[in-house]
Amino acid sequence: MHSEVARPRSDGDVDRTFRELASVLSAQEDYLVDRQVTTVWDELRVYNTLAVPMQSIEGAARRNLHRAVHTLWTSAVPVSDLADETWIARERIEQGVPTEDMLDGYRRKHRTIRDRFLDIATSLRTPSDAVVRALTLLSDSADEGASRLLHTRREIELQRKGRDSLREQFICDLLHGRLDGSMIPREAAAYGLRPEATWYAIRARTTTGDSDRLRSEIQSRTWDRDGRTGVLAVIDDEVIGLVPLGSVAGMDRGMDGVVGVGDGGPVSDAASSYRNASRALMTATQFGLTGFVNCGDLGLRLAIASNPDVSELLIRRYLTPLRINGRFGEVLEITLCEFLRSHGELKRTARILGVHLNTLKHRLSKIEQLIGQDLTDPRTVAELWWAIEAGTVSASVSGTKRPTYLENPHGGSPNGVAR
């Protein structure tokens, strides 16, 4: 009996096998795109930190799969026209993703595709020599793509170094009203600002000293559905520019900075919007706020910041009589703050402060005695609120430490002091 010798597989056999595997891989496109996105989102923290849009990661993942399928179908590393690499590199630069993290994400996604390919090949009992050859092709294709991606990114960065100085000059002139109105639409379009679209001027300051990081964070949070990201520049340690804003609204305590936001309007109204953004930034900074803030969010705080004489008068009238009483005066001020925050509800105020209702009533009576005003009078309540908010500004400007409870109203209550 003669043992059967395996017949060598021809190139035609291998090519047919590769095409069969490519078809199976392509049929699982949605699954593989989801797996790539999950891998990047779970394993690379920078994509979470910078809030890179999910649709951006999905688009790149889909292109990666198409590249892998094309590699198998043709049994060759595809010759790229750099369109995909240019698209990905430009997006990651705008999103603030560092080069090494961009390449790491690219390689991890391709590794996910290769792992799935190996599972498919194993389940179909594909000959080992064909599997090895296919894996080599997929690895070479991924490496070629990564090299082109890096090259394209370097080219874009070099081009932008010269463009950045022109862009910064343009955005400064635009926001400060130094451009000829008739020229604004055409010049804005050259920098990707559609004249007919709605834009919001921003002026921002970081709380960490890293203005470039703040710019990237703002850029990543202000994408709109059309993929617009606006134009931002770092000037004198501040981030200024125009953004579409997207769905961002209100204060965000998670940001490492404060972003003053102006009114939305066409690019020709940028200077007016920037004035409001500057006012919002200055006021928010005085009150120690962070995140995206517009004038509507600040309300009467704008008036407080703009009228220091009135603020000083009300502080002397309502807070000084309490503060001259030392520690007990601080307790009374804390009590007053919580009473106002609780909309004058005695039981709620007592519960939050952790004191008996009679103790609260005694404190409020003492406050009325010291300030010579009735706490049920709406005018008095309004002036008290103004004084307390103005006191926050005064402490910020002078560097005076405020009672911790005034900064964190539900963090505890002072007990064991005279009532």
Is the domain 307-407 a CATH 1.10.10.2840 member?
yes
299: left (phi over 0), alpha (psi -120 to 50) or beta: left
What Rg value do the Cα atoms of the chain yield, rounded? 31
pLDDT at 153: 81
Percentage of the chain modeled with pLDDT above 90: 41
Of the candidates 390, 190, 376, which has an alpha carbon nearest to the alpha carbon of residue 310? 390
Angle formed by the axes of helices 326-341 and 357-371, nearest 10° = 110
Distances (CA, A) of 193 to 159, 259, 260, 396: 19, 20, 20, 37
Q: Assign 380 to helix, strand or coil.
A: helix
Which class would CATH give 11-159?
Answer: mainly alpha
pLDDT in tens, 297-320: 898 899 998 888 998 999 999 999
What dihedral do alpha carbons 223, 224, 225, 230 form, nearest 10°? -80
Neighbours of 247 (CB within 10 A): 9
What pLDDT is stored for residue 365 in this prediction? Answer: 93
Q: Are 333 and 391 in contact (CB under 8 A)?
A: no
Q: Evaluate if pTM is beyond 0.75.
A: no
Q: What is the DSSP letter of 134?
A: H
User: Tens place of pLDDT for every residue, the chain, 419 residues?
Assistant: 343 333 445 566 778 888 999 999 999 999 999 999 999 888 888 887 887 888 888 888 998 899 899 988 988 887 765 567 777 888 888 888 888 888 888 999 999 999 999 999 999 998 988 899 999 999 988 888 888 888 788 777 767 767 777 788 889 999 999 888 877 887 888 777 888 889 999 999 998 888 988 888 888 788 766 666 788 899 889 999 999 875 554 445 567 899 999 999 999 999 999 999 999 999 999 888 888 999 988 988 999 988 889 989 999 999 999 999 999 999 999 999 999 999 999 999 999 999 999 999 999 999 999 999 999 999 999 999 999 988 877 555 444 444 433 443 333 333 433 33
The C-alpha atoms of residue 35 and residue 117 are separated, in whole angstroms, by: 13
Q: How many Å apart are CA 289 and CA 356, to the nearest integer? A: 33
Query: Alpha-carbon distance 144 to 159, whole Å?
Result: 23
Task: State both tokens at 325.
Answer: 């009483």
Instruction: Give the residue among 316, 384, 357, 312 at the shortest CA–CA distance from 375.
Output: 384
Separation between Cα atoms, residue 67 and residue 60, nearest integer Å: 11
Alpha-helix residue ranges (DSSP H) falling in 28-98? 29-43, 45-49, 54-74, 83-95
Residue 416 confidence (pLDDT): 34
What is the strand order of the sheet 199-206 is part of? 231-235, 238-243, 199-206, 257-265, 291-294
CB 268 within 8 A of CB 177: no
Give the residue among 365, 371, 376, 396 at the shortest CA–CA distance from 319: 371
- Which sequence spans correspond to the domains of the chain? 11-159, 183-298, 307-407
Phi, psi of 330, rounded to the nearest 5 degrees: -65, -40
So what's the pLDDT on residue 116? Answer: 92
DSSP state of 5: P
